[in-house]
Amino acid sequence: MTTLAVGTIDYLNTHPVEYHLDHYLPGVPRMRGVPTAVNRALLNGQVAISAISSYEFALHTDTLRLVPGLSIASMGAVNSVLLFSWRPTRES
């Protein structure tokens, strides 16, 4: 029998999802890691379902499917991703 494994990104903003997984699916094996690790695990078939980066999903829309109604999102700015540059953006 094949065991269902779930990939989870080991960042604070995914903890609400993990809480519900623990509550409703106790004992389901997990593969925890940084986004690049869980992206790779999903694409290699090591996990059956996982949160992945939106960029990685965009690269693999031919093989991956979204779970409807589930995302890690915000209605406004959260400032969790910041872009810095040594030069003004006009020079880049």
| The residue to which tokens 């829309």 are assigned | 61
Q: Is residue 1 part of a domain?
A: no
Q: Report the CATH number that the domain containing residue 54 is assigned in CATH.
A: 3.40.190.10
Domain count, the chain: 1
Q: pLDDT-based confidence at 91, cuts 50/70/90?
A: low
- Provide mean pLDDT across the span 75-89: 81
The predicted structure's pLDDT at residue 60 = 96
Task: Output Rg (C-alpha) for the chain, integer angstroms.
Answer: 16
Q: What is the residue range of 44's domain? A: 6-91
Q: Is residue 25 part of a domain?
A: yes
Q: What is the pLDDT of residues 13-66, one digit of tens each?
A: 888 888 888 898 888 899 999 999 999 999 999 999 998 888 899 999 999 999
Q: Is residue 67 part of a domain?
A: yes
Q: Is residue 31 within 8 Å of residue 6, measured between CB atoms?
A: yes
Residue 1 has pLDDT above 60, yes or no: no
Q: What are the CA-CA distances from residue 30 to residues 1, 8, 24 (Å)?
A: 17, 7, 14
Residue 80 has pLDDT above 90, yes or no: no
Q: How much is the pTM? A: 0.72
Q: Is residue 82 part of a domain?
A: yes
